[in-house]
């Protein structure tokens, strides 16, 4: 009989709530799908599960840890005080507790969250990344001559394609400056401008600490999108179901030549280790018409919604959802963090 663990699920809540707040109603909404899927799996595995939501105060977490004394923390935090760039601060706080927690440590999250730092590290190791430049808030916006149009402008530390629309892809000086300004004003953070990589859009899930399992790559396809339309993962392409239907945007397992698939697997394992990721992650790549693999972004602790790419890819590799959550919990216990 496997041990019955006390699991504490830590996640983002809309405001600071008391530690005995009942999240029953929130858990029924689509926005909370990932949390409710994870809780169901934890319970199915025979563990106990309690929850604590965080907004801009760590006090509920401190109280809950003292009261519940969990064996494992299931970390689903993606931001703090609405700042996506502050996610790693909560991970650092968890590290200080000396209790096993799921997913990636604070260093890996820090390296990946900043879309510039991850590219610098991988570029140093001669992994193909887009040419890029970072434009901090309050500094002059001047495009370096080495950065050629078309350019994709993004917030430096967001996720889920926040701030990415058809207007993010620019090919004039004026549009470029305006889009960088837009990112500064709307997201109150630096912008990263990247050389646009034309090609197929691939997502690769990986799991493990030292020894890694690579799940089959999935692909976002733009079946009805005209050649001059945005053939990249804008916010709408990811989350607007009507828009997806209109433009034939579908995610499915990628059909790849065996040699390309092997190269992708090898490269993804290298990237995962170089960016000090542990636990589980999803890498975003582009595959050019010349079969060149280009790194776009690494996502430690990707969304665990049962119907999204990461869980579907795990299932394809033979890990159904409950087993996936079981592996994530076991990896947490096996992680040695310094």
Ligand X SMILES: Nc1ncnc2c1ncn2[C@@H]1O[C@H](COP(=O)(O)OP(=O)(O)O)[C@@H](O)[C@H]1O
Residues that bind ligand X (CB under 6 A): 115, 130, 152, 154, 158-162, 164, 194, 196-197, 201, 232-233, 284, 286, 296-297
Q: Is 303 in the site for Mg ion (CB under 5 A)?
A: no
297 near Mg ion (CB under 5 A) = yes
Query: Which residue minimizes CB distance to Mg ion?
Result: 284
Q: Which is nearer to Mg ion, 12 or 297 (CB)?
A: 297
Stretch touching Mg ion by CB under 5 A, among 12-20, 55-63, 187-195, 293-301: 293-301
Bridge partner list, 155: 191
**Short-list 126, 133, 144, CA closest to 294:** 126
b/e map 116-141, b = 16+ CB within 10 Å: ebbbebbeeeebebbebbbbeeeeeb
User: Rounded to the nearest whole angstrom, what is the least distance from the CB of residue 289 to ligand X in the complex?
Assistant: 13
As measured in angstroms, the least distance from the Cβ of 164 to ligand X is 5
Q: Least separation, in Å, of the C-beta of 297 and Mg ion?
A: 4
User: Which of the choices ligand X, Mg ion, none does residue 164 contact, using the CB cut-off of 5 to 8 A by kind?
Assistant: ligand X
Question: Which residue carries 């170089």 as its tokens?
Answer: 274
Stretch touching Mg ion by CB under 5 A, among 147-155, 194-202, 240-248, 281-289: 281-289
Out of 253, 284, 291, 317, the only residue in the binding site for Mg ion (CB under 5 A) is 284
The CB-based long-range contact list for 268-272 (8 Å cut-off, 24+ gap) reads 268/204, 268/206, 268/214, 269/206, 269/212, 269/214, 270/125, 270/127, 271/122, 271/127, 271/295, 271/298, 272/206, 272/212, 272/298
For the bound state, the minimum distance from the C-beta of residue 239 to ligand X, rounded and expressed in Å, comes to 11
How many residues bind Mg ion, per CB under 5 A? Answer: 2
Using CB distances below 5 to 8 A depending on partner kind, what does residue 275 bind out of Mg ion, ligand X, none?
A: none
Beta-carbon contacts of residue 63 (< 8 Å; ≥ 6 apart):
19
Which of 69/288 has CB closer to ligand X? 288
Assess 162 for contact with Mg ion (CB under 5 A).
no
- Order the strands of the 72-76 sheet from edge to edge: 48-54, 6-12, 72-76
280: phi then psi, degrees, rounded to nearest 5: -155, 155
Q: Rounded to the nearest whole angstrom, what is the least distance from the CB of residue 166 to Mg ion in the complex?
A: 17
Six-digit token string for 304? 């665990």
**Smallest distance, Å, CB 226 to ligand X?**
16
Cα of 201 vs its chain's centroid, Å = 15
Which residue's CB is nearer to ligand X, number 114 or number 161?
161
CB of 232 to ligand X, least distance (A): 3
Question: Residue 154 or residue 236: which is nearer to ligand X going by CB?
Answer: 154
The option from ligand X, Mg ion, none interacting with 64 (CB < 5 to 8 A, set by class) reads none
Q: Is 105 exposed, middle or buried (0-12, 13-18, 19+ CB in 10 A)?
A: buried
SS3 61: helix
Toward ligand X, which CB reaches closer, 87 or 194?
194
Residue closer to ligand X, measured from CB, 5 or 201: 201
Cα–Cα distances (Å) from 19 to 93, 126, 289, in that order, read 18, 48, 52
Nearer to Mg ion among residue 91 and residue 161 (C-beta):
161
Residue 234 half-sphere exposure, CB side, CA atoms within 13 Å? 18
Q: What is the binding site for Mg ion (CB under 5 A)?
A: 284, 297
């Amino acid at each position: 009989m496997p041990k019955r663990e006390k699991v504490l699920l830590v996640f983002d809540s809309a405001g600071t709530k008391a530690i005995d707040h009942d999240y029953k109603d929130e858990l029924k909404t689509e926005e909370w799908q990932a949390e409710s899927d994870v809780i169901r799996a934890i319970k199915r595995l025979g563990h106990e599960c309690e929850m604590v939501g965080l907004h801009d105060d760590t006090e509920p977490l401190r109280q809950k840890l003292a009261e519940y004394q969990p064996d494992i923390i299931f970390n689903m935090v993606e931001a703090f005080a609405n700042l996506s760039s502050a996610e790693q601060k909560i991970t650092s706080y968890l590290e200080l507790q000396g209790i096993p927690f799921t997913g990636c440590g604070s260093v890996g999250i820090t390296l990946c969250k900043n879309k510039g730092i991850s590219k610098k590290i991988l570029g140093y190791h001669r992994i193909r990344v887009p040419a890029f430049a970072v434009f901090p808030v309050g500094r002059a916006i001047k495009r370096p001559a080495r950065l050629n149009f078309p350019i994709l402008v993004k917030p430096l530390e967001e996720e889920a394609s926040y701030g990415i629309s058809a207007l993010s892809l620019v090919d004039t000086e004026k549009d470029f400056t305006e889009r960088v300004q837009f990112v500064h004003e709307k997201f109150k953070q630096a912008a990263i401008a990247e050389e646009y990589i034309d090609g197929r859009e691939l997502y690769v899930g990986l799991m493990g600490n030292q020894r890694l399992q690579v799940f089959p790559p999935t692909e976002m396809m733009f079946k009805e999108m005209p050649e001059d339309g945005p053939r990249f993962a804008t916010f709408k392409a990811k989350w607007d179901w009507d828009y997806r239907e209109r433009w034939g945007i579908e995610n499915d397992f990628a059909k790849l030549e065996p040699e390309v698939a092997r190269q992708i697997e090898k490269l993804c394992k290298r990237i995962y280790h170089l960016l000090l990721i542990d636990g589980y992650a999803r890498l975003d790549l582009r595959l050019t018409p010349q079969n060149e693999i280009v790194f776009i972004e690494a996502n430690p602790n990707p969304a665990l919604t049962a119907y999204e790419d990461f869980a579907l890819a795990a299932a394809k590799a033979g890990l159904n959802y409950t087993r996936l959550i079981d592996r994530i919990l076991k990896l947490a216990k096996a992680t040695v963090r310094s």
